[in-house]
Amino acid sequence: SQKIEQNSEALNIQEGKTATLTCNYTNYSPAYLQWYRQDPGRGPVFLLLIRENEKEKRKERLKVTFDTTLKQSLFHITASQPADSATYLCALRRGGANNLFFGTGTRLTVIP
């Protein structure tokens, strides 16, 4: 079955630094991979999508990379702010499937 691992349950960084979160997957080749942000008690919110034939995607202070050989995606938040504190989930959809498989998430805390 599909397994998606996010590198750590929690990550603390200093404000202004770059946060790097890791998502590793096994068993399937995803058509694309997504990153979501989830605040406590709320539903996930879509941030970025990267396709299997793309190496990198950027949106403002966010950057996602996708290495299909390593079966890994990295999610970067540059110039981090306390407002970036949340849980970040990676999710993938394999080719031919409609549903998303989610990782367990990394809880990021940006310390002022």
Q: What are the residues binding another protein (CB under 8 A)?
A: 32, 34, 41-46, 49, 89, 91, 93, 97-105
Judged by beta carbon, residue 16 or residue 46, the one nearer another protein is: 46
Would you say 48 or 80 has its CB closer to another protein?
Answer: 48
Cβ atoms 104, 10 nearer than 8 A? no
| Dihedral class, residue 58 (left if φ above 0, else alpha if ψ from -120 to 50, else beta) | beta
CB of residue 89 to another protein, shortest distance in Å: 7
Residue 25: closest CA among 100, 108, 109: 100
Cβ proximity to another protein: between 96 and 112 the closer is: 96
Query: Measured from the CB of residue 60, what is the shortest distance to another protein in angstroms?
Result: 17
* Shortest CB 22 distance to another protein, Å: 16
- 112 CB contacts (<8 Å, ≥6 apart)? 15, 82
Q: Which is nearer to another protein, 77 or 92 (CB)?
A: 92
d(CA 42, CA 21): 21
